[in-house]
Amino acid sequence: MFNQISTQAEELVSLTNRVYNNSKTKTIVVTSGKGGVGKSTLTANIAYILASQNKSVAVLDADIGLANQQVIFNIKPQYTSYDYIQGTCDLEDILIPTEYADITLIAGKSGYQYCNTNSSIYFTRVVNDIVELNRYDILLIDTGAGLNEQVQEFLTLSDNILAVTTTDPSALTDVYALLKMVSLKKDSLMLCFNFTSKYDTGESITNSLKKLALKNKLNRNFMVQYVGNVSKMESIATTGRLRKLFVKELQNNIASLDLRMVVDNLMINLR
């Protein structure tokens, strides 16, 4: 699993890390153990908040086979990261401007035939090439749900990992499995609770996860940093159906204010 990445992948990650040292681009991997927790929606809205803070942001849809960022941003891409990997287009062709200033989308490919691709290592090359451009302040990588090979690979690419979960028992079970996996290679993970009305609820559950990790003798130096919650609001679903970003359309909505606090905490903990 996570600790059995191929030698080729390790070499590519090493190359990527060398490029990171010479680039201003900070990479944040947004992930979740379970699907349906609102990870992709939060990623797009985080991008908007960062852009409104005068940061140039790129969003890479890394949900291989089930890409949906182009839907959220209301874009029909001519080329995707998969096309670049296949060599049918140049890097510039997949850097798609959105209707929002300072936000660029790198769309993914949707379709069952891409879900089982064995070329996940080449998606790492896409990240490397984007970072090497030295064009963006932040690269947000929106991974797929679960703990498959592709997700594991993207998790190796950054020390800034934001896990999105809910208070649903199955979501908590999956995010704990994610926590255990990440702790094998990294020393920290940031945790955000979605659809959670009280900040204290997420904080309490985070503390419980920490205690469980210690009880099960996980890496004692591994840090789980709670960065906040986002309240559940029906209006978010409405803006989503309209392919709009809720933090722009509903700036004074409690969920928008919650997410802005999450982004503030995210940036404080950014490496």
At 22 the pLDDT is 86
Residue 5 or residue 107, greater confidence: 107
pLDDT at position 86: 86
Q: What does the mean pLDDT of the chain come to?
A: 89
How does DSSP classify residue 65? B
pLDDT at position 6, please?
41
Radius of gyration of the chain (CA): 17
Q: How confident is the model at residue 7 (pLDDT cuts 50, 70, 90)?
A: very low
For 3, which DSSP code? G
Asked if residue 189 has pLDDT above 80, the reply is yes
**Mean pLDDT score, 52-74:** 93
What are the pLDDT digits (tens) for 215-262? 888 888 899 999 999 999 988 989 999 999 999 999 999 999 999 999
Residue 121 has pLDDT above 80, yes or no: no
The pLDDT score that the predictor gives to residue 97 is 98
Q: Based on the number of CB atoms within 10 Å of its own CB, is 219 exposed (0-12), middle (13-18) or buried (19 or more)? A: middle
**Higher-confidence residue: 32 or 8?**
32
Q: By CB neighbour count within 10 A (0-12 exposed, 13-18 middle, 19+ buried), where does 267 fall?
A: middle
- Tokens matching residue 180: 């255990």
Give pTM, 2 decimals. 0.91
What tokens appear for 206 in the block?
A: 């985070």
pLDDT in the model for residue 124 = 85
